[in-house]
Amino acid sequence: MAAEPTVFVVDDDAKIRSAISLLMKSIALRTLTFPTPQAFLAAYERDHLPACLLLDLRMLGMSGIDLFAELKRRGSRMPAIIMTGHGDVSVAVRAMKAGVFDFIEKPFKDQALLDLIQQALAHCSQAAGQAAQHGEIAACARTLTRRERQVMDLVVTGKLNKLIAAELDLSTRTVELHRARVMEKMRAKTFSDLVRMAIALQAEERSP
């Protein structure tokens, strides 16, 4: 699979696959096509972001929505655009509520598809950047001792050092030292930075 921005097209219609490939080639965007969801899954190992999926809704054996659900189960974060036929819009709307990025109804205009794909790739890049940032925050947090993490969690609630000291049965000076080490280990330049990191870390820990 690809390491550069890529559109993965899964459609059982060879003409549509060929037409989309030519359209993507016109803007120098790498495209890999697959005739069935099974063929895509056989090639899929892990995400190489940024990328997006362009999936036909109705395919033999497995729908585009089923394929998207299976990829999510495997941990994929690639945004998916569902290509629908007339009368399938209500199904596509339900798919969006399940996490599909968007849908486009056939026959579609070239520019409409290009715009949607660029939006999906931009969304993917932003999400990948956020994931990397969260990973860095988590890595920094793992360097904290248990006591330092306790101090950080209390500091970001706005409690004064002397109140934290009383709650943890420590001296105020010890809390100040822990707080300084927390700022250093978390690479936080300001108190606001630390608060944002703590919020992101807590949200990540609460997520299933």
pLDDT band at 22 (very low <50, low <70, confident <90, very high): very high
Give the amino acid at 31: T
Helix then strand then coil, % of the chain, to nearest 5: 55, 10, 30
Looking at the fold, whether 126 and 148 belong to one and the same domain comes out as: no
Q: Are residues 21 and 96 in the same domain?
A: yes
* Tokens (6 digits) for 206: 């609460």
34: left (phi over 0), alpha (psi -120 to 50) or beta: beta
- Please tell me whether residues 154 and 96 are part of one structural domain: no
| DSSP state letters, 152-186 | HHHHTTT--HHHHHHHHT--HHHHHHHHHHHHHHT
Sign, Cα dihedral of 141, 147, 152, 154:
positive
Q: Are residue 78 and residue 175 in the same domain, yes or no? A: no
* pLDDT tens-digit map of 82-101: 998 766 767 777 777 778 88
Domain span holding position 176: 143-206
Instruction: State the average pLDDT over residues 41-53.
Output: 89
The greatest distance separating any two alpha carbons of the chain, rounded to the nearest whole angstrom, comes to 74
Q: Do residues 126 and 189 make contact, with C-beta atoms less than 8 angstroms apart?
A: no
Q: What is the pLDDT of residues 123-181, one digit of tens each?
A: 877 766 566 677 788 889 899 999 999 999 998 888 899 999 999 999 999 999 999 99
Structure tokens that stand for 141 in this block: 């947090």
In this predicted structure, what is the pLDDT of residue 207? 57
Query: Which pLDDT score is estimated for 202?
Result: 77
Q: What is the CATH number of the domain that holds 155?
A: 1.10.10.10
- 94 and 49 within one domain: yes
The domain total for the chain is 2
One DSSP character per residue, 102-151 reads EEEESS--HHHHHHHHHHHHHHHHHHHHHHHHHHHHHHHHTTS-HHHHHH
